[in-house]
Amino acid sequence: MTPDWVKDAVFYQIFPDRFRIGQGPAGQPAPVQGAFEAWDAPPTLRGFKGGNLWGVIEKLDYIKEQGFNALYFCPIFASTANHRYHTSDYFQVDPILGGNLALQRLVEEAHRRDIRVVLDGVFNHCGRAHFAFQHIMENEAASPYLNWFHIYKFPLNAYTKHANYAAWWNNPELPKFNTANPECREYLLSVAEYWLQYGIDGWRLDVPNEIDDDDFWREFRRRVKARNPEAYIVGEIWDDASRWLQGDQFDAVMNYPLGRAILGFVGADVLDKDLAAKSGLGRIESLGAMACHHRLEELFRRYDWEIVTAQMNIMTSHDTPRIFSILRGQVERVQLAFAMLFTLPGAPTVYYGDEIGMAGGHDPDNRRGMIWDESRWHKSIQQTIQQMSALRRSLPALRRGRYQYLYAQDGHLAFARTLEHSSVVVTINTSPEPWRIDFPLHGLWPRGERTVDRLSGKTGRCVGGYLEDGVLEPFSLAVWQPLE
């Protein structure tokens, strides 16, 4: 079983260094006060902007108001990199982020608002500043930590282009753990357990496919679920994840394939395919309605339904260009893409700043400082996300209902979400022309009923098994429900 709360979750992904600089309580000053990049300056590969967890705490009410009830954080542990995937101490929240006290306070304040907290676990590799790797650098073959890594030769070339030890993508900054070593294995599993004591609600696992050991992940699941049966375990797998989703390893994965289908359908001929292709998204294919439906249905059939409803559905993240840039700044298409995301099975996930239409290309440009000047916000995007979050909360069928195909032609797609005896019909128009809706409901609402679009308030009717609800405007979406 997957955690029940995830089916009701709307995730907000935060890159801590770039979200907000908070003050923290008296007596808890930041370890450094200056030398940060200017917040609004273009981010650089190595530069820090000084965002911290106190800043997130200060904006929890903002997060709640947008409709988000779960947070996924990029790594927060001590590190020498602004993104903190170069972990140096897994038992210490980075002092620049506010230290362990800030995380403790964050979890308390988030839970008080019914917001869950999921942390990023980087267990495949660490930073070269990690104590065990440093011990080997100093003592070479005499180090008791020698077998925690895959060392090929001494002295270690830790500061050259060519590492003589196993490293992630051969980057000498990121030595790869030897998870087959029992002591190293136990160390990493103890990290997963330790932070559950702080009340976190789960782990997002960074590149877990690179720990090519199903028994490691089975033990990880046993240990995590023993501490918190409702903890969420979600892996960063970009494509078919069947191997890890048999019920004994992960609960779900980051559902980038679903995000690519939405972008391909909504973006159509305006997609910046070259921009997307240089990231993990790959070259996104423009899709008509039927092709999009086939992609979605294949994804929904690939895994057990319990897993489908717990997937972290994601279009863009810290590893991709921002959606506003991929869709070339066409606000109405961005709104439509988000609206569609919220109507599909799984937990919608929004990257910080995407809710206000921030632009961003490749790393590090996609990791700009959050814009807090409301005059620079695309408020229509924000309003769409707020509205769709509220609608999802009010309609259990959008959270747990089965997907049922109804109609697909050109830029027009319709499907139902059905839960027990209730159902809603979603109609999507990705074309620049109005769509006069008239298609069969295939057994839904057979009595013939008046209907209402829960987004616009427009009413329509079901006649002879057909939904006949007037005109759907270009680049818009409707969610139809029978009138009581």
Catalytic residues: 206, 236
Q: What are phi and psi of 168, to 5 degrees?
A: -65, 125
Angle at 106 between CA 103 and CA 109, to 5 degrees: 155
Length of the chain: 484
Cα distances (Å, whole numbers) of residue 289 to 22, 229, 414, 478: 45, 39, 9, 16
CA 308 to CA 306: how far, in whole Å?
Answer: 6
User: What does the DSSP 8-state code read for residue 338?
Assistant: H
Please check whether residue 115 is in contact with residue 69, taking contact to mean a CB–CB distance below 8 angstroms. yes
175 Cα distance to chain centroid: 26
What is the Cβ-side half-sphere exposure of residue 470, based on CA atoms within 13 angstroms? 14
Identify the burial level of 437 via C-beta atoms within 10 angstroms of its C-beta, where 0-12 means exposed, 13-18 middle and 19 or more buried: buried
CA 377 to CA 353: how far, in whole Å?
Answer: 9
Q: What are phi and psi of 405, to 5 degrees?
A: -70, 140
What is the Cβ-side half-sphere exposure of residue 391, based on CA atoms within 13 angstroms? 27
Taking the alpha carbons at both ends of the chain, their separation in whole angstroms is: 34
Name every residue whose Cβ is closer than 8 Å to that of residue 375 and which is 6 or more positions away in sequence.
none
